[in-house]
Structure 1
Amino acid sequence: MDWLEPYEQNMWDDEDDEDDGGFPFRMKLIDEPHAKKRYTPLTQFFLLLNSQVSNEHVVTYLKINNGRITEEELCEIILHFDERKAILVEDKPIDVLLSRPNKDSLDHIKSLLLNPVIQSLFCGNIQPLEASAAQSYRVLPDKIEPYEDAEFEKVLSYLKKNHKNSSFSLQIREWALSDSLKDSYAIRYFAHHTQAFCLLVNQSARIMYIEMRF
């Protein structure tokens, strides 16, 4: 497979991890009854990211910039979850914890055509991970046909903004490593829109995680 090369850098290093300096924090429920939900690719991405694992205790974390939850984050992501809590330091949110995707929101997005990149990422259920040695590989952009998706730019811009000089990793559905995989919309898109796009592959040639480095 000439479109991959071993990638030795630790996929889980996060240069953007912030230290709260030991400040005490508290948690607060987010309740905005007068705000209205909006459905966008951000909604699709974060709902499916959380709901692909059949476990009601799965939590998705949003990093909050500048101590303020934006209208975009509230209406297009947060309000689509039934459990939503903010972590506050000095009364300013630094993270939001989201769980239990709202059923009506899920039903709505599934009744419509999903964005092609999002569908290629989340179409299917994640299988249980087995303990196994794994190798990280970087996708070589010059071996991949580019795919442009103006609609998905909204999602990528948000991830880059909230993970500056860092990366975003997610557990992937059961992708089997094969040459045909390089034709997926997700790989064709991320290979050309990130500084590095990596796959973590186990000994059974199953892709366990993907990572986007910005």
Structure 2
Amino acid sequence: MQWLQPTSENLIEGYDEPQGKLSINRVESKQITSNTIISDFFVMLNSFGEPGVTPLPAPDEKVYHRIMEEIAPYFERILIIKINNKIIEVSLQHVKKEALTILNNKAVHPVLNEFFHGEADKSGYNLFGQVPNRSVYKVLPHFIDPLEDPEVQQLFDFLKEMFSLKKYIVFPPKYWSLSDELKQLQAIRFAAHYCQDVYLWVDNDTERIFEIQFKF
């Protein structure tokens, strides 16, 4: 697969965590009033696997307000994390049943279906388990046909703003296996030419892609 290059780069780079007085406040979840590719992304990301907490960085007021208006209403539990009285993160947990109903009754963007939909795995593979025997591959964009899509760009622009301090996002795609077919996915075609780099984290024992990393 010429379009993938094995890499040993240090991809999970740290950044200076804010220091100071920590405060955590729970706020009431608002009624759902809008639906966007951004809200769909985070609902679908949290709709499979074990229930967990989704920490969303809020590097500035613009991102914070978009989180609270477009994403937070889809979740039952919302925590505002502050350091020295400055909001740094919104923590979300428990997707609302209403959110799943909205999602199931609409045509979801194909890129989100590629990330999060697929036939059920019968092998007992643990999507969120530890992967000791793994490799990381860098996607080489000059082998990938570019894709332009204003709606997908809206999602990626927001992810880039949200992760402007960390400079990357990592998440598990659902049921991706290492193959040349991946280079035809709209998700790969767009990300390869939008992001600074795209990395696929592969379980060598099963050839499952257990993480995808977008570097901005």
Give the TM-score of the pair, scaled to structure 2.
0.88
Cα separation, partners in 2 of 1:136 and 1:156, compared to 1, 3 Å: same
How big is the shift at 1:135?
Answer: 0.9
Q: Is the 8 A contact 1:41 1:152 kept in 2?
A: yes
Q: Identify the residue that residue 46 of structure 1 maps to in structure 2.
A: 42
Whole-Å separation in 2 of the counterparts to 1:89 and 1:12: 23
Is the Cα–Cα contact under 8 Å of residues 133 and 203 in structure 2 kept in the other structure?
yes
Partner of residue 95 from structure 1, selected from 89, 94, 99: 89
Unaligned runs of 5+ in 2: none
Q: Distance in 1 between matches of 2:17 and 2:61?
A: 14
Does 2:56 align with 1:59?
no
User: Is residue 119 of structure 1 aligned with residue 117 of structure 2?
Assistant: no
Q: State how far apart, in whole Å, the 2-side matches of 1:143 and 1:98 are.
A: 37
Equivalent positions of 1:178-193 (< 5 A) are 178-193=179-194
- The Cα of 1:36 is off from its aligned counterpart by 5.0
Any idea what the Cα deviations from partners look like across 1:152-181, whole Å, max 9, x if unmatched? 112111111122261111012121111111
- Could you tell me which residue of structure 1 aligns to residue 21 of structure 2? 24
Distance 1:81 1:186, change over 3 A: same
* Match status 1:150 vs 2:150: yes
Shift of 1:25: 0.6
* Match of residue 196 from structure 1: 197
Identity %: 27
The CA RMSD measured in Å over matched residues stands at 2.0
Q: 1:101-136, CA deviations, whole angstroms, 9 ceiling, x for partnerless residues? A: 111012102211111111100113684135331111
Aligned-residue offset at 1:97: 0.7
Q: Give secondary structure in 1 for the equivalent of 2:214.
A: strand
Tell me the equivalent position of 1:37: 33
How far apart, in 1, do the equivalents of 2:21 and 2:6 lie?
42
Which stretch shifts more, 111-120 or 23-32? Answer: 23-32
C-alpha spacing 1:68/1:157, structure 2 compared with 1 (3 Å): closer
Does the 8 Å CA contact 2:3/2:143 hold for their aligned counterparts? Answer: yes
Correspondence for 1:134? 134
Query: Distance between the aligned counterparts of 1:141 and 1:98, measured in 2?
Result: 34
